Structure 1
């Protein structure tokens, strides 16, 4: 299918003012001269216990207008952009969970095909700085 990239693990923060992360945005820009496809998955550890405790990593359901998926194939026409929104909630993720975004397809670390960025957004539309990943922040996974 192509290269695999991951954000690596990151935490969904809890805020003292009572606000919460409402959703995760994952944006794609296709720099190639043809349509590209990227398979997207978001994994969560809902209860990351302190070592030596463990928490299994599970796929987050991604709901869009065509249904709910644990791995979403994102088709991006040449020169186009698209954004996938993953809402926070008891079935997806909440504050203090640990997330990891994984991508596979027409992409690479150098950003010559599809480039990606992700961001967490909290109540009121404010970007959560600790949940911002630009394309160069992703790392390549070896199989």
Structure 2
């Protein structure tokens, strides 16, 4: 369920999504730039399951949007969120974390992270059992924010 209106129950759900330190740290990363799950994992040193679950909760709260790029789901700040009360909330999180040492370290690790290719020997993902199929190139995150909403530019 996505939270898209100003219903008090939905607003409470939005606040619940922000009531976890890991989700605030993830939001801090996405304020910096768009990310895939593996980049969040690297920057925060958390498991894939934990990263995916927390990204999903922020997405369901209406704070994030997503798109597919091959094997990756790329998460970024929702342009719709930037234009309403959620943008103010994101801006408040950014302001609160701007001088936080852990948040700064997370952003530094994000700049050093890369989109990881899945191991070729995982069932169904590799081409080792299919010699007639060409292995796709592994894209590496460029650090650009194509399609990402900028809170600073909207508010």
Q: TM-score, normalised by structure 1?
A: 0.25
Please tell me whether Structure 1 or Structure 2 has the larger radius of gyration of its CA atoms.
2
Q: Which has the higher helix share?
A: 2
Structure ranking higher on relative contact order (CA contacts 8 Å, 6+ apart): 1
Q: Which has the higher strand share?
A: 1
Q: TM-score, normalised by structure 2?
A: 0.24
